[in-house]
Amino acid sequence: MEEPAGSISMRSFRATSFVLSIALVTSSCSQVQQFSSSHSAKINCIAGGIVGATLGAGVGAVTKGDDKAIALGAIAGGAAGCALAMAYKSRLDRLEQIAARENVRLQTETLKSAGLGASDVGIVAQVEDQGMFPTGSAELSAKGRRQVTSLAEAFVGVSDTAILVVGHTDATGSAELNQALSERRAKVVARILEQQGIAADRLFFQGAGSSRPVADNSDPLLRGKNRRVEIVEVDDRATLMARLSSERNNPKYLSYGTSTRANATRSQAAAPPAARTGVLVGQTEPVKPAPQRVELREDARFAVDFGGVPVSTGRWELGSAIAPKSAGFSFIPTAHAADMPVVSCDQDLPRKSGEAVSLASGDALETRNTTDYLPGYNNRVWAQTVHGHLVTISPVSILRDSAAVGRQPFIQIVEQYSEGNRNASFKGNAIANTYEGESRVLYRVFLTDSPSPVSCLDVVFSKGSSQATDGVLIYPDQRGESYTAKFVPLRT
């Protein structure tokens, strides 16, 4: 039907309304920038405004449907988006001022959405524990209480965001002990925030223990950086859920292991060539070690020769295949994924992290775990022969949601399988951790029974084709030295 002469079409009016809202947002951002020395403030405001305008226009269309509602929704949404982006910038500035005043080691970052405009959806403040808590205690020191109380000032005055406090420890002690301790510490900090005027129903706490290291746990001078409290503020509970999901199996935390023993790969790599065995890079013949007296370990009877080479002679590169996910919060640029340092399972231990808990109710935040599996990883048996011995992982259970482990596996070994033997010589329980990338999952398995012919396994699974694309197993020889052998299992 033709429109009356002199009228503006509905499509044109909606477009004009949306453009007008963006212009108003841009104008207001320019005025806001006069009070800020950061050029990024204006950019963040515009990005947040565009997203807010888009969402506001959509709400107006759904609730009212007329052009006026769409225009008003776009303008209101744009203004709100800009205001929230500027509020986060203001919060970061305030946190840095407080940190300087209180002599707090603080690292901050802005969380950005993966959608249109990559707008700011939250902030993260990592507070290094410099005597904030006494060793092994969840009781704040006098200095720690003063520091947390001061930092709380930056979060007071906002009523509709969600705040998560995460406790982190180093890897000394068991994973279970560290998780429980870090959760108690996080709750104490959340209580301080509440006492400073932040509503309890906005506050959540979580104990990540030693599962997310940011420094080398094997170095006594560096492992202290892992003892920290993380304060995360995001737009709303839905964004908080997305943050929790992205952190649960984030491969960025593979840069460092959770073992406190010295890095054997690093220390042995520095030894003179005559002290090494195996095939070295650029050589075709094995390096023969000098004759030496062999001292067998007490459980040497459990040793199985998988035909591998010492861990110190190889370069562990499986982690480079785990490119970061493109959706959600991206912490590692995809272009630099291959350069990300990643430790092997030999430098790691099973990791344990707790759930986020509401400070108001004491209930765990719903994480939406399902029993929907990644295709082909629904409790199947995977196996492969290594140097004539059959190694079986059963079951391999990987959920679609965050590639979480559905059921823990056990490992079975049949020695001399290629020669006709069918009797298992070993069956042991295991703990699996997973790390999810864009198209692959690193499935890391630790044997919990000791002694064991195998220490751990790293397998890279494809998320789309139900196959293992790479993998290794690490095992001790008769002297207790770590060796590695190729292990790429097939689904049976």
Q: Identify the three-state secondary structure at position 155.
A: helix
Question: Could you tell me if residue 265 is inside a domain?
Answer: no
Number of separate domains in the chain: 3
Note whether 179 and 219 are within 8 A (CB): no
Do 215 and 304 belong to one domain? no
pLDDT for residue 175? 96
Do 212 and 280 belong to one domain? no
Q: Which domain holds residue 149?
A: 106-235
Question: Could you tell me if residue 39 is inside a domain?
Answer: yes
Residue 368, classified by CB atoms within 10 Å of its CB into exposed (0-12), middle (13-18) or buried (19+), is exposed
Please, which pLDDT band fits residue 388 given cuts at 50, 70 and 90? very high
pLDDT for residue 82? 67
Do 143 and 111 belong to one domain? yes
Whether 41 has a pLDDT exceeding 80, the answer reads no
- CA–CA distance, 200 with 444 (Å, rounded to integer): 37
Question: Could you tell me if residue 407 is inside a domain?
Answer: yes
Note whether 374 and 403 are within 8 A (CB): yes
- For 340, residues 6+ apart whose C-beta sits below 8 A from its C-beta are 251, 252, 254, 255, 319, 320, 332
- CA–CA distance, 367 with 74 (Å, rounded to integer): 32
Note whether 375 and 461 are within 8 A (CB): no
- Measured CA to CA in angstroms, residue 121 lies from 48, 202, 284, 428, 488 at distances of 8, 16, 54, 45, 40
Note whether 120 and 112 are within 8 A (CB): yes
CATH number assigned to the domain comprising residue 153: 3.30.1330.60
Do 282 and 405 belong to one domain? yes
Give tens-digit pLDDT for 423-432: 999 999 999 9
Q: Identify the three-state secondary structure at position 234.
A: strand
Question: Could you tell me if residue 4 is inside a domain?
Answer: no
The two structure tokens encoding residue 64: 């009212």
Give tens-digit pLDDT for 269-300: 333 333 333 332 333 334 444 444 445 445 55
When comparing pLDDT for 334 and 113, which is higher? 113
* Element spanning 108, H or E: strand 106-112
Give the neighbor-by-neighbor strand order of the sheet with 410-414: 309-310, 482-486, 468-476, 456-462, 440-447, 426-436, 410-414, 389-399, 373-386, 490-491
Last residue of a domain, one of 184, 218, 235: 235
When mean pLDDT is compared across 328-332, 396-400, 448-452, the lowest value belongs to 328-332
Give tens-digit pLDDT for 117-134: 568 899 999 999 989 999
Task: Share the mean pLDDT of the chain.
Answer: 79
Query: What are phi and psi for residue 78, nearest 5 degrees?
Result: -65, -45
Q: What is the CA radius of gyration of the chain?
A: 27
pLDDT for residue 68? 56
Do 383 and 414 belong to one domain? yes
When comparing pLDDT for 314 and 224, which is higher? 224
- CA–CA distance, 444 with 471 (Å, rounded to integer): 10
Give tens-digit pLDDT for 43-79: 455 444 444 445 444 444 444 555 555 455 445 544 5
Whether 85 has a pLDDT exceeding 90, the answer reads no
- CA–CA distance, 375 with 232 (Å, rounded to integer): 33
Average pLDDT over residues 395-414: 95
Pairing of β 203-209 and β 162-168: parallel
Do 327 and 463 belong to one domain? yes
Average pLDDT over residues 153-158: 88
- CA–CA distance, 45 with 120 (Å, rounded to integer): 9
Do 330 and 294 belong to one domain? yes
Q: Could you identify the residue written with the tokens 């070993």? A: 426
- CA–CA distance, 380 with 394 (Å, rounded to integer): 7
pLDDT for residue 318? 77
Looking at the DSSP bridge assignments, the partners of residue 443 are 434, 459
Do 20 and 72 belong to one domain? yes
Last residue of a domain, one of 55, 88, 121: 88
- CA–CA distance, 428 with 346 (Å, rounded to integer): 18
The reported pTM is 0.78
When comparing pLDDT for 397 and 333, which is higher? 397
Whether 156 has a pLDDT exceeding 60, the answer reads yes
DSSP per-residue codes, 420-447? T--S-SEEEEEEEEEEE-SSEEEEEEEE
pLDDT for residue 314? 64
The two structure tokens encoding residue 176: 């279970």
For residue 231, the 8-state DSSP code is E
pLDDT for residue 322? 81
The two structure tokens encoding residue 261: 């023993």
Question: Could you tell me if residue 180 is inside a domain?
Answer: yes
Whether 12 has a pLDDT exceeding 90, the answer reads no
The two structure tokens encoding residue 126: 């990592």
Query: What are phi and psi for residue 384, nearest 5 degrees?
Result: -165, 150
- CA–CA distance, 198 with 191 (Å, rounded to integer): 9
Whether 20 has a pLDDT exceeding 60, the answer reads no
Please, which pLDDT band fits residue 210 given cuts at 50, 70 and 90? very high
Do 308 and 456 belong to one domain? yes
pLDDT for residue 23? 47
Question: Could you tell me if residue 249 is inside a domain?
Answer: no
Do 63 and 171 belong to one domain? no
Do 291 and 377 belong to one domain? yes
For residue 184, the 8-state DSSP code is H
Do 409 and 278 belong to one domain? yes
Number of H helices, E strands in the chain: 7, 16
- Measured CA to CA in angstroms, residue 199 lies from 59, 159, 191, 192, 248 at distances of 28, 8, 10, 11, 26
Question: Could you tell me if residue 350 is inside a domain?
Answer: no
pLDDT for residue 202? 96
Please, which pLDDT band fits residue 84 given cuts at 50, 70 and 90? low
- CA–CA distance, 81 with 236 (Å, rounded to integer): 13
Average pLDDT over residues 334-346: 66
Question: Could you tell me if residue 23 is inside a domain?
Answer: yes
